[in-house]
Structure 1
Amino acid sequence: MESRNQTAVSEFLLLGLTDDPELQPLTFSLFLSMYLVTISGNLMIILAVSSDSHLHTPMYLFLVTLSFNDICLSTTSVPHMLVNIQTQDQSISYSGCLTQVSLVLVFGNFESCLLLIMAYDRYVAICHPLRYTVIMNLHLCVLLSLASLSISIMYGLLHGLLLLRLSFTDLKIPHFFCELAQIIRLTCSDTLIDNIVIYVAACIFGAFPVFGIMLSYIYIVSSILRMPSAEGKYKGFSTCGSHLSVVTLFYGTGLGVYISSLIANSSKKAAVASVMYSVVPQMMNPFIYSLRNRDMKEALRRLLYRRTSLL
């Protein structure tokens, strides 16, 4: 079969989640609502933390970073999908597709790193409370965040450059955004290097953070169970409840999508399942932190009170 050189590729076609025209308005309304909830919810978290001096701590600094990252991650895929549905145009430019792949990798892997950093922050707060302010100083918080972001950016750029060397015979992507695995399946080129990089990255951004989070919580639970009072134990577990819920949602949906992709008999079903990790966690994170965290609820209440009093 004669292959098409990558220089001749001008655009890909995103087939979306459904071919049924009658379902397109419903899909548009659903994703628009989810996107607006994601943006407004995460912006509320950012504004609440920024406006409340009591929340200017490492824990909430990482939460603001996570919220900003969730906004960026959702914005890389959902708006283009909404435009495609509204205009009934499934195309995405070649450069736009590669950019989308890179950005999804950057923000997705950065989120994984942030969850690991937040687990370490909770470990220090509970297991070494007297040294917390010394260990988790502003310099270390900024350094950890920038290091994680830099590694994620380098990985995203690396895959973007690797995709440039591939040739494609099929330009139809059975997805609502340019996902790396779907792009690689379309190529007729040798993907050995790409697959090696993917597996190495899975260990760096998947297995290592999960192992680090589990190890942190082993020490955390052990430290909490040694507390003499029931009130201290309750406070310790409630402090970690929000983070554990976000971790479970993020990695649980990712694992569920991976399993579904193995057993699904069509790429369309795998694309529908991928909504669970690419859209839902970013929408739910603000609710988890605001509903399970008393300080966040108070900060949001004060923020809303100030806004309504100005009207």
Structure 2
Amino acid sequence: WPVCFSKNHTVVSEFILQGFSSFREHKIILFVIFLTLYLLTLAGNVLIVTVISLTRHLHTPMYFFLSALSISETVYTLVIVPLMLCSLTGLNQPISLAGCATQMFFFLTLAINNCFLLTAMGYDRYVAICNPLRYTVLMNKRVCALLAWGALSIGLLVAVVQISSVFRLPFCDREVAHYFCDILPVMKLSCADTTLHDIINFIISSFVIVVPMGLVFISYVLIISTILKISSAQGRKKAFATCASHLTVVIVHYGCASIAYLKPKSENTRDQDQLISVTYTVITPLLNPVVYTLRNKEVKDALRRAISKNPLA
């Protein structure tokens, strides 16, 4: 990765992550809270993947995408949270340009992958409810694999474009006012005009947030219109129940992403930006295992059976 010269000709070979320097008097409390949430997230996602892989009747498209989402979010938090926890043990955390670019690459890839996986899950629910007789044909293993690889491929492509754009900039400052290498905080360190880069970033952010969110919205309009035509109240309740968990995760995920990346640059303070970032890097990944285990009867039943077979239980 390029190293650039500032006005006084010093080489910017690394960045300093300032982390939660505004909350240094609360860093022990924050460390305990974030560590607890991180461990719960890891445990929950690993549990979901394990239960689904070991339970034959859960080998369906819906749970295939749920497993893929759990794996993606596990790696996603692994890229961000450990370094964030380290920032709470000291005031500043240095990170090389290559390290910063690598973290940003994985963060962008997995965040975008999660967005499109949620879209694939919405399409799966649409087919299951609106075209149940053709479900096994429309959602066969090949289609599911293509949708999952498509989501990951879009993430990889967008991440490469973003990284190439950001790290071509000359950097004159090295103190990142954040706890990880996100695009906007890093671009603020450049001594060049970033107007074009800001426009590119906004267009890409709009694409990876608005497009999948719009597709999910269309899916649920069609789903709800189909559910309302069901004559049986019990049938309507069952159909809504299969969508409730996914819809909850979608609203929180896209809501946080929209606030973080589609708002005007100067709308929030640094502390507000960090609070929003904590929401989608720490809390949202925990939401997936919590919602899908507490609200999903099939997962809970499979978990109970797995525990009952354990001789130590």
Q: Bin the TM-score by the shorter chain.
A: over 0.9
Q: Secondary structure at the match of 1:13?
A: strand
Task: Specify which of 267, 274, 283 is matched with residue 263 of structure 1.
Answer: 267
Amino acid at match of 1:213: V
| Deviation of 1:196 (Å) | 3.5
RMSD between superposed Cα atoms in Å: 2.1
Distance 2:76 2:227 in 1: 34
Q: TM-score normalized by structure 2?
A: 0.92
Tell whether the 8 Å contact from 1:4 to 1:168 is kept in structure 2 after alignment.
no
SS in 2 for 1:168: coil
Task: Indicate whether 1:81 and 2:61 are aligned.
Answer: no
Inter-CA distance 263–87: structure 2 relative to 1 (3 Å threshold): closer
User: Comparing 73-82 with 86-95, which one deviates more in the overlay?
Assistant: 86-95
Name the CA distance, whole Å, in 2 between partners of 1:304 and 1:152: 36
Specify whether residues 126 and 188 from structure 1 end up closer, same or farther in structure 2 by C-alpha distance, changes over 3 A only.
same
Greater Cα offset, 81-90 or 99-108: 81-90
Q: Does 2:275 align with 1:272?
A: yes
Give the residue type in structure 2 aligned to 1:55: L
- Is the alpha carbon distance of 1:20 and 1:216 closer, same or farther for their aligned partners in structure 2, counting shifts above 3 Å? closer
2:133 corresponds to: 130
2:240 alignment partner in structure 1: 237
Cα distance change, pair 5–295 in 1 and its aligned pair in 2 (3 A): farther
Matched position secondary structure for 2:88: helix
CA contact (8 A) 2:17 2:180 kept: yes
5+ residue gaps, structure 2: none
Question: How far apart are the structure 2 equivalents of 1:37 and 1:260?
Answer: 33
Q: How many residues align?
A: 308
User: How far did 1:115 drift?
Assistant: 0.7
Q: What is the distance in 2 between the residues matched to 1:36 and 1:216?
A: 34
Quote the Cα distance in structure 2 between the aligned partners of 1:187 and 1:75: 27
Shift of 1:183: 0.7
Matches of 1:158 and 1:7 in 2, distance apart? 28
Q: How far apart in 2 are the matches of 1:7 and 1:302?
A: 62
Q: What is the TM-score when the length of structure 1 is the normalising length?
A: 0.93
Task: Please tell me whether residue 191 in structure 1 is matched to residue 189 in structure 2.
Answer: no
The equivalent of 1:120 in structure 2 is 123
Say if 2:209 and 2:257, in contact at 8 Å, map to a contact too.
no
Q: How does 1:7-22 map to 2 (within 5 A)?
A: 8-22=11-25
Are 1:39 and 2:42 an aligned pair?
Answer: yes
Q: Report the 3-state secondary structure (helix = DSSP H, G, I; strand = E; otherwise coil) of the residue aligned with 1:190.
A: coil
5+ unaligned residues in a row in structure 1: which ranges? none
Look up the equivalent residue of 2:14 and give its one-letter code.
E
Find the residue that maps to 1:91 and give its secondary structure: strand
Determine whether 1:295 maps to 2:298. yes
| 1:163 counterpart = 2:156 | no
Alignment of 1:247-258 (within 5 A): 247-257=250-260
